[in-house]
Amino acid sequence: MLAGAQALVRTPSGGLHSYYEGTAQRNGKLPRHHLDFRSAGGYVLTPPSRVHGKPYELLDHRAGATGRLDWQAVTRLLDPPGPAARPTGQAAGDLGRLAAWVAGQKEGNRNDGLFWAACRALESGHGDLDGLVAAAVATGLSEQEARRTIDSAARGAARKAVR
């Protein structure tokens, strides 16, 4: 049984409902994960309800269970905010703006973001990318890893220049 749930119910379509103690949280959806959350102001069907003749079926019931679901925590875990929009136009060549953007990258996008920013800085003629290294270190990358990423961007820029 899901931790703290009061009941588990199979839906007529084969889905699963997990029932928790009510809260004042807002209703929500994570369509990519096929999850709906109903709380204050929401409604759900429960056994013995039927849809097109098919029943909602009680799979398990735990009297006295008092678990609550933190929908915001579920949302942060399954649908974290994406990376910040990349600087465009003149800002894409501004080393200070690139460094600030790199400093805002989260785990999972730090290396890619640093590589992209280094490429833009090199295309704009910047040679000293220590500001990008410092920004990347502030996100949690090691200095060695940040420098390797920038070196990789520099090798790519050099190959482009030869063509």
Q: Same domain, yes or no, for 115 and 148?
A: yes
Which of 59, 78, 97 lies at the terminal end of a domain, its last residue? Answer: 78
Length of the chain: 163
Residues 109, 60 share a domain: no
Average pLDDT estimate for 73-83: 80
Last residue of a domain, one of 17, 49, 78: 78
| Mean of the per-residue pLDDT values of the chain | 87
Domain end point (choices 78, 107, 125)? 78
- Confidence (pLDDT) at 135: 95
Tens-digit pLDDT profile for residues 107-150: 878 899 999 999 999 988 888 999 999 999 999 999 999 999 99
Has residue 46 been placed in a domain?
Answer: yes
CA–CA distance, 1 with 96 (Å, rounded to integer):
51
Looking at the fold, whether 62 and 119 belong to one and the same domain comes out as no
Distance CA 110, CA 152 (A): 14
Omega of the bond leading into 83 within 30 degrees of 0 (cis): no
Within its chain, how far is the Cα of 129 from the centroid? 28
Give the pLDDT of residue 89. Answer: 72
Phi-psi category of residue 69: left, alpha or beta, with phi > 0 → left and psi -120 to 50 → alpha: beta
pLDDT exceeds cutoff 80 at 29: yes
What's the pLDDT tens digit per position in 79-119? 876 666 778 776 677 889 999 999 998 887 889 999 999 99
Look at residue 1 and tell me if it is in a domain: no
Q: Residues 98, 71: one domain?
A: no
Residues 108, 153 within the same domain:
yes
For the entire predicted model, the pTM comes to 0.50
Q: What are phi and psi of 2, to 5 degrees?
A: -65, 135
Q: Which residue range is the domain that position 47 belongs to?
A: 7-78
Determine the pLDDT at residue 100: 92
Neighbour-count burial of 53, counting CB atoms closer than 10 A to its CB (0-12 exposed, 13-18 middle, 19+ buried): exposed
The verdict on 93 and 50 lying in the same domain is no
Residue 2 lies in a domain: no
Mean pLDDT across 10-34? 88
Provide the number of structural domains found in the chain.
2
User: Is residue 83 situated within a structural domain?
Assistant: no
